[in-house]
């Protein structure tokens, strides 16, 4: 299960992530997901996005 909080319909709760980045209630993309990585496929766009962020994180200490 993943959790979501939608800023469009103000709904929050848990849902089964199906690969779409949209509110499971109203379908808006203005939604925040809290997923565990285990729920995502290796080729999920979110994985690629998180990997890119991690590799380019300017707040990461270098020393």
Q: Which is nearer to Zn ion, 12 or 44 (CB)?
A: 12
Residue 29 binds Zn ion, judged by CB under 5 A: no
Contacts of range 7-10, beta carbons closer than 8 Å, 24 or more positions apart = 7/31, 7/32
If one asks whether residue 14 binds Zn ion (CB under 5 A), the answer comes out as no
Q: What share of the chain is helix, strand, coil (3-state, %, to 5)?
A: 20, 20, 55
Min CB(26)–Zn ion separation in Å: 3
Q: Could you tell me if 25 and 5 are in contact, meaning their C-beta atoms sit under 8 angstroms apart? A: no
- State in angstroms the smallest separation of the CB of 32 from Zn ion: 11
Residues that bind Zn ion (CB under 5 A): 6, 8-9, 23, 25-26, 28
């Amino acid at each position: 299960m993943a959790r979501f909080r939608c800023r469009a319909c103000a709904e929050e709760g848990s849902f089964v992530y199906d690969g779409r980045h949209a509110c499971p209630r109203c379908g808006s993309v203005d939604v925040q997901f809290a997923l565990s990585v285990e729920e995502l496929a290796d080729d999920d766009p979110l994985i690629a996005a998180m990997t890119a962020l991690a590799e380019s994180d300017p707040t990461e200490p270098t020393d």
